[in-house]
Amino acid sequence: MQLKKFEAIIQEVQDPMFRMAMSFTGDVNSAKDIVQEVIIKLWKDKDKLEEIQNMKAWSLRITRNLCIDRKRKNRVVPAELDSAFYVESDNPTPERETILEDQMNLVSKALEGLNDKQRMAMILREVEGHTYQEIADLMSENINQVKILIHRGRQNLKSFIQKENEYGIIG
Amino acid sequence: MESLDKRKKELLQKYWEGTTTLEEERELRSLSSGKEDGALGAYFGGIENISERSVDIDVEGLINKESGQSRRPMIIRMNRVLAYAAAVLLLVSAFFVFDRYQNEEPQIASEETFEDPELALEQTREALAFVAAKMNRGRTETVENVKKIEVLNDIIPK
């Protein structure tokens, strides 16, 4: 596969991968680091990419696996990255950035309590705004299974939110 | 205000059950973003924030950098070879410069010598004859003076 074609594929999937990694880690730099690693992984397997039917589902699955792998190995640390590689969508003030970081950490913490499938389904629904059918296609599940995953995911989220309101610092 | 609270409760109920539409979920997030919403407001704020994020990765640069890193050991070896080559070149250059300097010294000295031994012998003879002539002249005069002094010695009583 030529670099230009590969770049075009990455252009399509890099934002969802980045947002998924951010939902898992709650940290911008770790998320960027994970996306970079996924891109390198995909480039190494570039000859097989032609055979993949749903590139978005494939890249999100790799991103999810890498996030889980890193969590397990406790390797989610802010990475040293070349800032020239990235363009941020906005430039919030340091104060606003701190609030946003706290909120992102809360999302990451909330999703941590879910199992891998629930978490994937929740991110695709809440962050990416996909329909149940789209989630089913991306996760290779049937639509009813997705509805169950979202329902259980939200029940777990509700327990987490109640605990945070009772004992957490936010509220 | 009351109707908003009622709507929020209604949406929240559906949200926890997992029966909201995407549109209703967006509406719920916009209604629940205040501080009074506590952890749920912060959660929805975080979701909104993540949803708006994007990243632009220089794929070509990243791949080049990755390829460069995998070639690094080779570059290090090449650098070492170049360093050794430079050291050898320096030593060879130093040797040639020193050698040339040494060879130039006898050339300067050879300008004051004779290549023809006969000519050298002749010149040496002339030089020695000159020195001998000067020495002999002085010697004769000295002997004459000593003889005059000896005459006086004979006259003076001991």
DSSP string, B40-104: HHHHHHHHHHHHH------HHHHHHHHHHHHHHHHHHHHHHHHHHHHHHHHHHHHHHHHHHHHHH
Q: Does B73 touch chain A (CB under 8 A)?
A: no
Q: How many angstroms separate the CA atoms of B48 and A60, rounded?
A: 19
Residue A136 predicted with pLDDT over 50: yes
pLDDT at B46: 92
What ipTM does this complex have?
0.82
Residue-wise pLDDT for A40-81, tens only, equals 999 998 888 888 889 999 999 999 999 988 888 765 444 443
Reduce the DSSP state of residue A170 to 3 states and report it: coil
Our CA-based measurement puts residue A38 at a distance from the nearest CA of chain B, in whole angstroms, of: 11
CB contact under 8 A, A161 and B66: no
| Paired tokens of A23 | 């939902």
pLDDT at A80: 40
pLDDT at A84: 32
Q: How confident is the model at residue B110 (pLDDT cuts 50, 70, 90)?
A: low
Our CA-based measurement puts residue A72 at a distance from the nearest CA of chain B, in whole angstroms, of: 23
Q: How many angstroms separate the CA atoms of B135 and A102, rounded?
A: 114
* Among candidate residues B4, B80, B14, B67, the one with its CA nearest the CA of residue B36: B4
| Residues of chain A neighbouring B50 (CB-CB closer than 8 A) | 19, 22-23, 104, 107, 127
B53 → closest Cβ in A19, A147, A165: A19
Rounded to an integer, the average pLDDT of B78-93 is 84
Note if the pTM is more than 0.80. no
Residue B150 predicted with pLDDT over 90: no
Q: How many angstroms separate the CA atoms of B158 and B131, rounded?
A: 41
A147 → closest Cβ in B18, B45, B46: B18
Contact yes or no for B57/A26 (Cβ under 8 A): no
pLDDT at B112: 64
pLDDT at B158: 62
> What does A73-102 look like in DSSP terms, one character per residue?
TT--------GGG---S----HHHHHHHHH
Q: How many angstroms separate the CA atoms of B127 and B69, rounded?
A: 81
Q: How confident is the model at residue A90 (pLDDT cuts 50, 70, 90)?
A: low
Contact yes or no for A44/A1 (Cβ under 8 A): no
Q: Does A119 touch chain B (CB under 8 A)?
A: no
pLDDT at B83: 85
| Residues of chain A neighbouring B46 (CB-CB closer than 8 A) | 100, 103-107
